[in-house]
Amino acid sequence: MPTVSMTVNGQAVSGEVEDRTLLVQFLRENLRLTGTHVGCDTSQCGACVVHVNGDSMKSCSMLALQAEGAEVTTIEGLASNGELNPMQQAFMDNHGLQCGFCTPGMVMSAMDLVAKNPNPDEATIRENLEGNLCRCTGYHNIVKAVQQAAKTMGG
Amino acid sequence: MYNFNYQRASSLDDAVAKLGAASDGTLLAGGQTLIPTLKQRLASHSDVIDLSGIGDLRGISADGGGVTVGALTRHAEVAASADVPAALAALADGIGDPQVRNCGTLGGSIANADPAADYPAAVLGLGATVNTNLRSIAADDFFTGLFETALNDGEIITSVTFPTPQKAGYAKFPNPASRYAMVGVFAAQMGDGVRVAVTGAGPCVFRVAEMESALAGNWSADAVAGISVSADGLNSDLHGSAEYRAHLVTVMAKRAVAAAG
Ligand SMILES: Cc1cc2nc3c(=O)[nH]c(=O)nc-3n(C[C@H](O)[C@H](O)[C@H](O)COP(=O)(O)OP(=O)(O)OC[C@H]3O[C@@H](n4cnc5c(N)ncnc54)[C@H](O)[C@@H]3O)c2cc1C
Ligand code: FES
Ligand code: FES
């Protein structure tokens, strides 16, 4: 079996995978980083979103081998020294989650949005979360959370 | 997903050689169509040859009368580019969602030729040229049917050259779930005439000659308001009937011309 190597949340990792192993399987099953979720098999729900070389991508729609040599950030990589990152904190403050299944993907997509657009208005936030489905919240508090985080993060 | 051999091509020649050597190989660009298709076991291949390491196939360069976009250029890069016509950037910005746009590529989209894909409307609407490792193909000859193109087995798209329009606009009615075009219309005023290309409505992107001649005489939304296409042969599925799509063609054509200004 081929070996794949990449940097995940700042740490060099490698592991044996099948050619067909998806990035999300490598993260969850080899690395036991189970914060990244799988919510569909049609590439539509966004529960699996991680950052690959700084851009948000669906880790269910990418082979582990495609990420050879890449810098990957998952939801586990956001908090530091036990402190939630401002986006995570904003989801908590605004009740931006209920069951929490979609939340890792929502947070990773929102982090990419705020990095590229530090001061997004409501319409921009809604458009940019197009690839993330939530079955619980009705999105309203998610949008509020992203607005708060954008402010705290210096937008 | 059935297993396969994953191979990374180091150059265009290497990709051609690897594809030639494989018993049933396929190319991987952004993976946003291929990986979901493999996952669903709608396809299986002996070898999957990843083009993403071929730097020459990525990037946007403006030249003389137009702009050339490398096959591996991602939708997000086209959306953010000041060098491509504004209507093309706006079209790319409306494909799927941000994560799809961060992976999906121009070459992958037009090679796949999904009847509801956005890019085919711009390629045909601007009268672009599709460049491959073997030849250059005019847009009018490229899209040949449902998921069918003029590409031969083993032929690789390297770039697409878009001539600069005097005016151009794109309007789509997105499927609310997938964002693919229920109907999308690209209207462009080119140096040598008007072009109107429709995606999503039929099995394959097509032009509407009657709208083109009306717009050539009078570039305004009103000029196309009274022109409708026949519903015969248009797509009919759970998202909408052929008659509904035929109606949308006129509505989107008006919006595309209005967007072009
Ligand atoms: C959730 C979701 C929503 C989407 N919404 C839209 C939408 O609204 N509008 C839209 O237009 N598209 C949409 N797409 C499709 C998306 O745009 C894909 O990126 C595109 O169809 C394929 O591009 P790719 O680079 O991902 O190609 P891949 O999936 O890697 O490849 C697709 C096919 O093209 C072939 N191929 C790839 N590159 C080349 C090349 N250079 N030369 C020859 N053959 C090649 C491959 O062998 C394969 O058969 C969506 C996809 C998803 C998952
Ligand atoms: S698991 Fe649903 S998009 Fe990746
Ligand atoms: S909080 Fe339950 S799916 Fe979003």
**A66 → chain B, closest CA residue:** B50
- Give me the pLDDT at residue B40, please: 95
User: Is residue B178 very low, low, confident or very high in pLDDT (cuts 50, 70, 90)?
Assistant: confident
Query: Is B82 in the same domain as B94?
Result: yes
ipTM: 0.97
Q: pLDDT tens, B121-159?
A: 999 999 999 999 999 999 999 999 999 999 999 999 999
Nearest to A112 among B8, B39, B98 (CB): B98
Domain closes at, from B147, B163, B179 = B163
Beta bridge partner(s), residue B6 = B48
Query: Is B132 in the same domain as B217?
Result: no
Compute the distance between CA of residue B227 and CA of residue B246 in angstroms, rounded to an integer. 10
Q: In CATH, what number is assigned to the domain containing residue B84? A: 3.30.465.10
Beta bridge partner(s), residue B149 = B143
Instruction: Tell me the nearest-neighbour CA distance from B212 into chain A, angstroms.
Output: 33
How many contiguous H segments (helices) and E segments (strands) does chain A have?
5, 5
Query: Is B46 in the same domain as B65?
Result: no
Nearest to A131 among B8, B76, B100 (CB): B100
Query: Is B62 in the same domain as B45?
Result: no
- Give me the pLDDT at residue B120, please: 98
- Give me the pLDDT at residue B79, please: 98
Query: Is B73 in the same domain as B42?
Result: no
User: Is residue B177 very low, low, confident or very high in pLDDT (cuts 50, 70, 90)?
Assistant: confident
Compute the distance between CA of residue B114 and CA of residue B104 in angstroms, rounded to an integer. 13
Question: Can you give the residue range of the structural domain that contains B129?
Answer: 58-163
End-to-end CA gap in chain A: 46
- Give me the pLDDT at residue A155, please: 60
Instruction: Give how far Cα A108 sits from Cα of A48, A58, B13, B239, B249, Å.
Output: 9, 10, 37, 31, 37
Query: Is B150 in the same domain as B62?
Result: yes
More confident: B245 or A155:
B245
Instruction: Tell me the nearest-neighbour CA distance from B4 into chain A, angstroms.
Output: 6
Beta bridge partner(s), residue A55 = A52
Q: pLDDT tens, B31-55?
A: 999 999 999 999 999 999 999 999 9
Q: Is the CB of A134 under 6 A from ligand 3?
A: yes
Q: Is the CB of B178 under 6 A from ligand 1?
A: yes
Query: Is B101 in the same domain as B34?
Result: no
CA torsion A92-A94-A99-A100 (nearest 10°) is -50
Instruction: Give how far Cα B68 sits from Cα of B57, B129, B138, B183, Å.
Output: 11, 9, 14, 26
User: Is residue B64 very low, low, confident or very high in pLDDT (cuts 50, 70, 90)?
Assistant: confident
Listed as ranges, residues in chain A with pLDDT below 50 are none
| Share in percent of chain A as helix, strand, coil (round to 5) | 35, 15, 45
Query: Is B67 in the same domain as B35?
Result: no
**Among the listed residues B23, B28, B22, the one whose alpha carbon sits nearest the alpha carbon of residue B49:** B28
Compute the distance between CA of residue B127 and CA of residue B66 in angstroms, rounded to an integer. 11
Query: Is B132 in the same domain as B99?
Result: yes
Task: Say if residues B53 and B11 touch (Cβ distance below 8 Å).
Answer: no
Q: Is the CB of A40 under 6 A from ligand 1?
A: no
Nearest to A65 among B6, B39, B96 (CB): B6
The domain tally of chain B equals 3
Compute the distance between CA of residue A30 and CA of residue A23 in angstroms, rounded to an integer. 10
Q: Is the CB of A130 under 6 A from ligand 2?
A: no
Query: Is B227 in the same domain as B141?
Result: no
Q: In CATH, what number is assigned to the domain containing residue B217? A: 3.30.390.50
Could you give the count of Cα atoms lying within 13 Å of A77 in the half-sphere of its Cβ?
20
Query: Is B158 in the same domain as B183?
Result: no
Structural domains of chain A in order of their starting residue, each with its CATH number: 3-77 (3.10.20.30), 86-152 (1.10.150.120)
Query: Is B174 in the same domain as B256?
Result: yes
Q: In CATH, what number is assigned to the domain containing residue B33? A: 3.30.43.10
Domain closes at, from B163, B178, B210 = B163
